[in-house]
Copies of this chain bind each other. A is one copy, B any other.
Amino acid sequence: MEKIKQLQQDFADFLAHTNLNGQPKELYEPISYTLLQSGKRLRPMLCLLANEMFDGDEQQALWPALALETFHNFTLIHDDIMDKAPLRRGKETVYQKWNADIAILSGDAMLAMAFQYALKPKKGAELAQQLGRVAIEICEGQQMDLNFETLGNVTIAEYLEMIRLKTAVLLATALQMGATVAGASEADIQHLYDFGIAMGMSFQLQDDILDLYSDVAVFGKRHGGDIADNKKTYLYMKALELASDKDRKRLEHLFTLRMDHDEEEKIEEVQAIYDHLHVKEAVEQVMLDYDRKAIEALAAVDLPEEKKKHLRTYAELLSGRKK
């Protein structure tokens, strides 16, 4: 825990010393506004923890960590335009506070800045290649997500591929970049990448479950928000798979209703169908499969157990399995 807190502080200090000012201010203010908001700093932390596992130089690893955080925030700024989202982390989005043009441009500049940061340390070309590949994958994932909003029949395989591209690959790449800058072997870099994919998939499925089945006060979002928004999560996909013809038709109908409908009533009815079909348990089963894959991948990294403990602790903290 001490190590984790120290790395979080080191990243915060590094970010605070990064010059995010420039002209014209209309371009740079949204960048510092976004990057300096408090956040989990999940991707930088994975990068720094992977680097630390292999005894890498932390000063070098802070650059890809900054690249990852800058890149991640670029994706949020552009996603918020597409979602017309007014709020993010309880604050106005760039799209809302300024406008769509400024959100496009400051996002573009952040994507370029992310490459500049990735190129700074030794092995910069390799890190930038990893960033380039994941950037393209995330665009693919976001486009799939946009498609799913209008497409009728999405398969479970397509849904899993979408969340792999939209969420898991960036966590995996964060670990990959940390291990790369530390000079880990190809094989170990791949094991950590696999660990990141499995962990990312598990996190996303857990998010889907928590949206409906968590104590609101803990999770901080409205209960059943995904159902109210007709979001086709894994719970919904799994329910369609397990449902009788009658339940499937009813679910499909409920997921066409717009906000003017009684939201609470709709959420309750959907949840009743989910519970009847034991959807939560089915999704938890898939989550456990990913957790097992993650454990196997981390076990395969050719390092003594002692070296892996900080990353393992951090992953457990994130999943809520460790307080």
Binding site for B on A (CB under 8 A): 22-24, 26-27, 78, 81-82, 100-102, 104-109, 111-113, 115-116, 119, 124-125, 128-129, 131-133, 135-136, 139-140, 142-144, 146-147
- Which residues of B have CB within 8 Å of A81? 100-101, 104
A106's closest neighbor in chain B, by CB?
Answer: B139
Query: Quick one: which of B124, B136, B144 contacts A116, CB cutoff 8 A?
Result: B136
Given A101-B146, A104-B81, A111-B108: A23 in contact with B129 (beta carbons within 8 A): no
A100, A116, A147 — most chain B CB neighbours (10 Å): A116
- Which residues of B have CB within 8 Å of A108? 78, 107-108, 111, 135, 139
Given A111-B112, A115-B115, A128-B115: A27 in contact with B139 (beta carbons within 8 A): yes
- Which residues of B have CB within 8 Å of A23? 140
Are the C-beta atoms of B82 and A104 separated by less than 8 Å?
A: yes
Q: A321: shortest Cβ distance to chain B, in Å?
A: 34
Are the C-beta atoms of B24 and A140 separated by less than 8 Å?
A: yes
- Which residues of B have CB within 8 Å of A131? 112, 115
Are the C-beta atoms of B139 and A116 separated by less than 8 Å?
A: no
Task: Return 23 A-B CB contacts under 8 Å, by A number.
Answer: A23-B140, A24-B147, A27-B139, A27-B140, A78-B105, A78-B108, A81-B100, A82-B104, A102-B143, A102-B146, A105-B143, A109-B135, A109-B139, A111-B111, A111-B135, A112-B131, A115-B115, A115-B135, A116-B133, A119-B128, A119-B129, A124-B125, A125-B125
- The answer for the CA separation of A208 and B36 in the assembled complex, in Å, is 41
A101, A111, A112, A116 — most chain B CB neighbours (10 Å): A112
Query: Quick one: which of B106, B125, B135 contacts A119, CB cutoff 8 A?
Result: B125
- Which residues of B have CB within 8 Å of A113? 132, 136
Are the C-beta atoms of B136 and A26 separated by less than 8 Å?
A: no
A82's closest neighbor in chain B, by CB?
Answer: B101
- Which residues of B have CB within 8 Å of A119? 125, 128-129, 132
- The answer for the CA separation of A39 and B102 in the assembled complex, in Å, is 28
Are the C-beta atoms of A132 and B112 separated by less than 8 Å?
A: yes
A75's closest neighbor in chain B, by CB?
Answer: B108
- The answer for the CA separation of A9 and B131 in the assembled complex, in Å, is 32
A107's closest neighbor in chain B, by CB?
Answer: B108
Given A27-B139, A147-B26: A132 in contact with B104 (beta carbons within 8 A): no
- The answer for the CA separation of A22 and B141 in the assembled complex, in Å, is 12
Given A112-B136, A113-B136: A78 in contact with B102 (beta carbons within 8 A): no
